[in-house]
Structure 1
Amino acid sequence: MVQSNRPLRVLIASDTYPPDVNGAGYFTYRLAEGLADRGHRVHVVCPSEHGDPHVTVNGKVTEHRLRSAPIPFQPSMRAAVPLGMGGHISRLLWRMDPDVVHAQSHFTLSRSALRRGRAAGIPVVLTNHFMPDNLYAHAHVPRPMQRAAGSLAWRDMVRVAAEADHVTTPTPRAAELLRERGFAREIEAISCGIDLDRFHPRARDRAAARDRFGLPERDTVVFVGRLDEEKRIDDTIRALALTVPERDAQLVLAGTGQCEGELRALAAQLGVADWVYFLGFVPDEELPLVYAAGDVFAIASVAELQSIATLEAMSTGLPVVAADAMALPHLVEEGRNGFLFPPGNHVHLADRLLSVLGSKRRRQEMGRASREIAQEHDHHRSLERFEAVYRGLQGRGLGDPRSERVMVA
């Protein structure tokens, strides 16, 4: 009989993991680290960051890096090579004997881990971070083909998700989207969570943060994330161009991406190049300082299943101006901690930015409200819920009782 209070053995499978820079990779890393800090034995299987397969112990988490190759059109990311992948995962499952396999997508590596886990009688959880919009630009899918490509991708995702014992998504809106695409079983919304201790109000650090990044003393609009098409940062730059004549404001962009050159050209074309600061890649340990340098967080994206960056900004005490699209409305209470604007409407975005920046008192009140809302997404709550899901699935896997497996550390 399984003891409910013993540490769990968890194998997390992900097709993206740091040093990859994206929300799914960061969530997976924080999930693994958080579970390990709570005393569980956590192994992660993911693509090698440099191509060659290897195993490394990173703190309390053991990483199994599978042979990988560059992803076309995405030089900063790699994908695990399918050849030999299934056998490697099967051997890992046999040696580790996990209580649960937690797949982070329906892509190649995660899919293999899900199916190998099921075949071995191990319960499987799948968390969906997938949005076709996030793939179109990366895969260079022509606009006329995007609807058909998205439909096929969703159909594949739903089919794979149906094989899992338990499916989660970061938000109720993300769960609703999956149902709209034909997934008929139960879906549980579990927030990605935010480290409230790490991302906290830092008014005293503001001057030091701006000095660290070489920023002038101006009203500061911040965005953290990939500079890619679906993030629609061009809308924010256009809004800034309407804001600058009214207030001496600047836009700070922390991240890299395919659209950086186009965004720099747009800022120059609109005459605001000196008011837009491209910080490039900011190491994870310095991210709290980026938010500390800001007065408001702006996000124009239309493809967010939650937005960890928005949660980080809110936890730091920043008001939020966000596109009224996908899951972003779950984080913004209109007039309380910020404002929503119609997607693509940079005029409305500029008006909302001016509303926030125009009154220091109102800005502070909204920042306090952001922090209060962010507290509902405390990552400790998310970790506790995932623990409960894992324990609830123990003994519910198919087939093999695993009684003769060899257990290793």
Structure 2
Amino acid sequence: MAQFDRPLRVLIATDTYPPDVNGAGYFTHRLAEGLARRGHRVHVVCPSERGEPYVTVNGEVTEHRMPSAPIPFQPSMRAALPLGLGGHLARIVQRMDPDVVHAQSHFPVSRAALRKGRAAGIPVVLTNHFMPDNLYAHARVPAPMREAAGTLAWRDMIRVAGEADYVTTPTPRAARLLREKGFARTVEDISCGIDLERFRPRAGDRAAARRRFGLPDRDTIVFVGRLDEEKRIVDTIRALARIVPERDAQLALAGTGQREEELRALAAELGVADRVFFLGFVPDEDLPLVYAAGDAFAIAGVAELQSIATLEAMSTGLPVVAADAMALPHLVEEGRNGFLFPPGDDARLADRLLTVLGPERDRLAMGAASREIALRHDHRRSLERFEDTYRRLRGAPPVPLWVERAVAERAVAV
């Protein structure tokens, strides 16, 4: 069998993976499973969710769980312990002899895999899901220190990315951000992709979905994601409080996070506690029903490099009201499938939500447009593009590491 026809051996390195609940972890899981279903041999290296190391075969994917410890202030997540990590990765690379190493960040597991792959002469792809804004609250970085911390974090990320053979990121805006931060080489935007069959219009399931989650039968705004500071859910609750005098509406929040008690208190303070429903952690198999229960999707966060949840809502046929920030404008065609609003402007958010919750005919038309736009993000197409990238790199001579480091150092200097 020719080199480019045979199944690939892919080693994916990630610092977050299910049962972690976040977009990067879910994307990596779907990537691994999708590649395995297409006949490739896929191994994943990630932190152990229970502390001690172990190896397991999960479906068609082999998982190498590295020794880990709880992340301070984040009891639901763990980080790999650095002691012995490089040796673990070197042995996995030697035994598996992958065609490509695909690192999902610049954090310890991904960084170690990148360097062991390069040392073995194996091409390395790095996909960036990183935004400092997503770390500030988790690491309890005081507001006055965030700008300096963000600068240092970006500098470290750009330096590590410079060691990879090829860099991707989910959206054109995210690619542009890397260049703005000093990355001097090509960055390819490859959508994280979504399963268009799982997340599809389910108008006939709305009543059942609302009963499933204990939601009254009224206009329903949904949000899926972490209940953390950078998601700015306070803006959505404030917008709901502005809406209810004019419209019988409610907000359903699917997810958990550090700010849940604060959000409950805010809803009570604004007199909408009986209209804000905290659904908690929703298992992946039930997630499509959350969107089916809704009439519109609202997202107020400003640190989204793509927002898989927004894409899932769109694929389900929901109009979207989103903050005009980062990659969200790539998903919203103003007036066609929803609206953008200035970040932090809950009055404008409320106004836009009233518009999309207006006449049913208009709402359905915007939902249909959302579905049409979401079709561009078929996860099968994303898998094909990553396969093409892997095969192309495997067929190309490796670039000397000293050249990559020199490029990265110049990028940081600029």
- Range of TM-score over shorter length: over 0.9
* Conserved 8 A contact 2:171-2:305: yes
Instruction: Name the Cα RMSD after superposition.
Output: 1.1
Q: Which residue of 1 aligns with 2:90?
A: 90
Report the secondary structure of 1:334's partner residue.
coil
Report the secondary structure of 1:70's partner residue.
strand
Q: Which residue of 1 aligns with 2:153?
A: 153
Counterpart amino acid of residue 397 in structure 1: P
Q: Which residue of 2 aligns with 1:397?
A: 398
* Conserved 8 A contact 1:53-1:66: yes
Q: Which residue of 2 aligns with 1:347?
A: 347
Partner Cα separation in structure 2 for residue 304 and residue 242 of structure 1: 25
Q: Which residue of 2 aligns with 1:112?
A: 112
Alignment map for 1:47-66 (pairs within 5 Å) = 47-66=47-66
Partner Cα separation in structure 2 for residue 210 and residue 63 of structure 1: 36
Q: Which residue of 2 aligns with 1:228?
A: 228
Q: Which residue of 1 aligns with 2:247?
A: 247
Partner Cα separation in structure 2 for residue 211 and residue 54 of structure 1: 40
Counterpart amino acid of residue 64 in structure 2: H
Q: Deviations over 1:297-321 (max 9, x none)?
A: 0000000000000000000000000
* Conserved 8 A contact 2:251-2:275: yes
Gaps of at least 5 residues in structure 1 are 400-409
Aligned sequence identity (%): 81
Q: Which residue of 2 aligns with 1:285?
A: 285
Deviation at 1:209, TM superposition (A): 0.5
Q: Deviations over 1:360-401 (max 9, x none)?
A: 1110000000000000000011000000000000143368xx
Partner Cα separation in structure 2 for residue 347 and residue 365 of structure 1: 24
With the length of structure 2 as denominator, give the TM-score of the two structures.
0.96
Counterpart amino acid of residue 224 in structure 1: V
Partner Cα separation in structure 2 for residue 199 and residue 397 of structure 1: 40
Alignment map for 1:8-407 (pairs within 5 Å) = 8-395=8-395, 396-397=397-398
Q: Which residue of 2 aligns with 1:403?
A: none
- Structure 1 residues 23 and 123 mapped into 2: Cα distance closer, same or farther (>3 Å)? same
Partner Cα separation in structure 1 for residue 279 and residue 351 of structure 2: 25
Partner Cα separation in structure 2 for residue 230 and residue 52 of structure 1: 31
Partner Cα separation in structure 2 for residue 389 and residue 207 of structure 1: 44
Deviation at 1:31, TM superposition (A): 0.4
* Conserved 8 A contact 1:120-1:398: no
Partner Cα separation in structure 1 for residue 107 and residue 2 of structure 2: 31
Gaps of at least 5 residues in structure 2 are 401-414
Number of aligned residues: 400
Q: Which residue of 1 aligns with 2:404?
A: none
Partner Cα separation in structure 2 for residue 317 and residue 101 of structure 1: 36
Report the secondary structure of 2:250's partner residue.
strand
Deviation at 1:204, TM superposition (A): 1.1
Partner Cα separation in structure 2 for residue 264 and residue 30 of structure 1: 33
* Conserved 8 A contact 2:44-2:62: yes
Partner Cα separation in structure 1 for residue 361 and residue 11 of structure 2: 48
Deviation at 1:358, TM superposition (A): 1.2
Partner Cα separation in structure 2 for residue 201 and residue 397 of structure 1: 45
With the length of structure 1 as denominator, give the TM-score of the two structures.
0.97
Partner Cα separation in structure 1 for residue 368 and residue 5 of structure 2: 38
Counterpart amino acid of residue 384 in structure 1: E
Deviation at 1:334, TM superposition (A): 0.2
Partner Cα separation in structure 2 for residue 123 and residue 163 of structure 1: 11
* Conserved 8 A contact 1:7-1:39: yes
Partner Cα separation in structure 1 for residue 351 and residue 251 of structure 2: 15
Report the secondary structure of 1:65's partner residue.
strand
Counterpart amino acid of residue 141 in structure 1: V
* Conserved 8 A contact 1:169-1:190: yes
Report the secondary structure of 2:234's partner residue.
helix
Report the secondary structure of 2:95's partner residue.
helix
- Structure 1 residues 320 and 109 mapped into 2: Cα distance closer, same or farther (>3 Å)? same
Deviation at 1:327, TM superposition (A): 0.2
Q: Which residue of 2 aligns with 1:404?
A: none
* Conserved 8 A contact 1:171-1:327: yes
Partner Cα separation in structure 1 for residue 139 and residue 323 of structure 2: 24
Report the secondary structure of 1:167's partner residue.
strand
Counterpart amino acid of residue 177 in structure 1: L
Q: Deviations over 1:59-100 (max 9, x none)?
A: 010000001100000000000111110001000001001000
Deviation at 1:3, TM superposition (A): 1.3
